[in-house]
Structure 1
Amino acid sequence: MSDTLYIRGLKAERGQKLQTYLPVLDTNTEIPITIINGQNDGPTLLITAGIHGGEYPGIAAAMELGRDTEPESISGCLIIIHPANIQSFWARSAFVTPDDGRNLNREFPGNANGTLSQKTAWLLSQYFFPLADFYADLHSGDIHEELYPYVYYPGLPNAEISAKAREAAMVLDMEFMVRSTATTGAYNYAAISGVPSILIERGGAGLCLREDIDAYKKDLHNILCKLGLFTNSAPLPRKHTPIDVTDVIYLETNNTGCWFPCFHCGDKIKKGDKLGCLTDLFGNTITVYNAEQDGIILYQCPALSAPKGTILVTYGQIRNN
């Protein structure tokens, strides 16, 4: 890392904290960014929150981390974008950017000449991912999703990248982690590009609870210690070390209806258990869904309204190490 960090017109000297707004290419949209260029040399950690603007605890945790961290405590550089999808955040919109109706997390690596979502993805992938030695993307259950805390790490890049990401995931205080085989999403694209990356999931259902924010901040503290940015701080104690959940099933409805789940997130289920049912607006059953395997429910839709394409329940098998 050089003494001065330059990013598209922004300049952060060694030992400086910069909090400002970064314009998205040729638009009137600006996204808030905190850059903390530590007094000592070290790695660069990129954190994004609010790629989905209705996923609040990670956004709040990122804001508070940027506010409370000073260059004197950092070896290296900490770059925090909070939230990345500012239009979705202010609109309280689930998943999509109001300007173009696109899911920002499905647009990477983006397009400099495209829509707002595509330009935002291009900005992140072209100017921020190349700076990062590690990348953490903070998510939650969206406005119509509740979830049990867990973390994704990429499985498709080379073994070294995947192993580094998994090692960082292991310092989080949560019970479960999932090896992703997807190629979409900000963190997967970053990993394929050579940056060890994780996607953390905490909180959801449109709530921004203090306990979720504080748990997120604890996760981030331990990541900063693990990566060597916090050299004068010890990792915070944890109750859990993540174990793998495999063979994850994302149960998506092919019909529009009213959803009545039978379980809660974090519940363990057996093959054949009734997961819930979909009814019409008169209460008549359209479909009953049963578990295809034993497992743990990671997240589900708690909303009554379930348009076609809604992921109703996501569950996977707990791997006994």
Structure 2
Amino acid sequence: MSQDMTICGLEIKRGTKLRTMLPVPDTMTKIPLTVINGVDDGPTLLITAGIHGGEYPGIAAAIELGRDIEPEHVHGCLILLHPVNIQGFWARREFIVPEDGKNLNRVFPGTPLGTLADKTAYLISSNLFTIADYYVDMHSGDIHESLHPYVYYPGQPTPEVEKASKRIAKVVDVEYMVRSLATGGAYNYAASTGLPSILIERGGAGLCLHEDIEAYKDDIRNILRRLKMFELPVKPRHYHPRDITDMIYLESMETGCWFHHIHSGDFVQKGQVLGRTTDLFGQTITEYYAEISGVILYVCPALSAPKGTILVGYGQVVEDDDD
């Protein structure tokens, strides 16, 4: 419901917008926060962008949405953090929080007694997940990642949370959605607490393209419309996402140079060559083949591939979805 709200000691009255820097307790770090507390009643939607500081389109979209949306546009309350991993953002680092070397998305729910990543996760999980009715985590391919836009919804929590999460995933303007069986990550943790949540992947390779930013903004406006939080017109969608099952995340078995034979968005057949790793003299170490037929959602475009690098992510397309 839209009412006077208090977030981490900050009071946001009904019908007002707050734009400020939110301190991470017991650190010197502050995170950009925008709260748009609508004039009219409605749900509370939490949006995070930049949990990985090198994933730029979602960050830019959140900044612009926070700037442009006014309280009179909103039924309920819209909360945006942009970017969460502000150290990684300014340092142009992939995945990690530079101060402690941790992947912030892997430490939720965090702890107030840990390092910066732990304290940041705890700030969000203990103060924002608890007041939200829905949660959207905006990601992109990181500095060394190329991907085809898609959306995850959680498959581990209760059927009710899964259904509510999928309901908002289905209005994202992407071709594919993935039912995640993972237990890690901010949105999966949030779902485990009963909070319907999704994670959107759009853009990548360290780029911040205008078309990705605008598409992301349209995604959020569509979600706001689905939740009856927004009445301004939105652009028609191009896609109605289809489910992807049996996702495979192919990891490099050794450190080497990675030469991929496919691109994100490609369809592959079982047994097709996906790529190969070589040594620094060009001699093939390992050739990688598709285990199943499906669509490529993610490719590592970097030549350098340390052991354990996710080289390709792909899965089978479910043609009919009558949910």
What TM-score do you get using the length of structure 1 for normalisation?
0.99
Q: Aligned letter for 1:284?
A: Q
Match of 1:250 in 2: 249
Q: Are 1:179 and 2:175 matched, yes or no?
A: no
The answer to whether structure 1 residue 297 and structure 2 residue 314 are counterparts is: no
Gaps of 5+ in 1: none
Matches within 5 A, 1:45-56: 45-56=45-56
By how many angstroms is 1:44 displaced? 0.2
Q: Is 2:305 aligned against 1:306?
A: yes
Secondary structure in 2 aligned to 1:172? coil
Q: Is 2:2–2:43's contact at 8 Å kept on the other side of the alignment? A: no
What's the secondary structure of 2:130's corresponding residue? helix
SS at match of 1:130: coil
SS at match of 1:131: coil
Query: Distance in 1 between the 2:53 and 2:126 partners?
Result: 21
Instruction: State the secondary structure of the residue aligned to 2:32.
Output: strand
State the identity %.
Answer: 63
Q: Distance in 1 between matches of 2:54 and 2:18?
A: 25
Report the secondary structure of 2:53's partner residue: coil
Q: What corresponds to 1:7 in structure 2?
A: 7
Q: Note if contact 2:2-2:37 (Cα within 8 Å) is conserved in structure 1.
A: no
CA drift at 1:8 = 1.2
**Distance in structure 2 (CA, Å) of the matches to 1:80 and 1:285:** 46
Tell me the equivalent position of 1:238.
237
2:204 is paired with a residue whose SS is coil
* Distance in structure 1 (CA, Å) of the matches to 2:3 and 2:290: 55
What is the Cα-based RMSD across aligned positions, in Å?
Answer: 0.7
Could you list the per-position Cα deviations for residues 283-319 of structure 1 after superposition, in whole angstroms to 9, with x for gaps in the alignment? 1111000000100000010010111111000000011
Q: Is 2:206 the partner of 1:218?
A: no
User: What is the distance in 2 between the residues matched to 1:184 and 1:219?
Assistant: 24
The aligned length equals 320
**What is the rounded CA distance, in whole Å, between the counterparts of 1:167 and 1:28 in structure 2?**
39
1:276 alignment partner AA:
G
* Aligned residues of 2:44 and 2:134 also touching (Cα < 8 A): yes
- Distance in 1 between residues matched to 2:8 and 2:296, nearest whole Å: 42
Question: If the length of structure 2 is used for normalisation, what is the TM-score?
Answer: 0.98
Mapped to 1, the partners of 2:6 and 2:146 lie a distance apart of: 39
Q: Any residues of structure 2 matched to 1:104-115 within 5 Å, and which?
A: 104-115=104-115
**Distance 1:38-1:308 versus aligned 2 partners, 3 A rule:** same
Shift of 1:235: 4.1
What displacement does 1:7 show?
A: 1.1
Partner of 1:25: 25
Distance (whole Å) between structure 2 residues aligned to residue 82 and residue 240 of structure 1: 27
- The amino acid across from 2:298 in the alignment is Y
Matched position secondary structure for 1:58? helix
The answer for the alignment partner of 1:260 in structure 2 is 259
Structure 2 gaps, min length 5: none
Q: Shift in Å at residue 2 of structure 1?
A: 5.7
Q: Report the alpha carbon displacement of residue 172 of structure 1 after superposing the two structures with TM.
A: 1.1
User: Deviation digits for residues 267-291 of structure 1, max 9, x if unmatched?
Assistant: 0000010000000111111100000
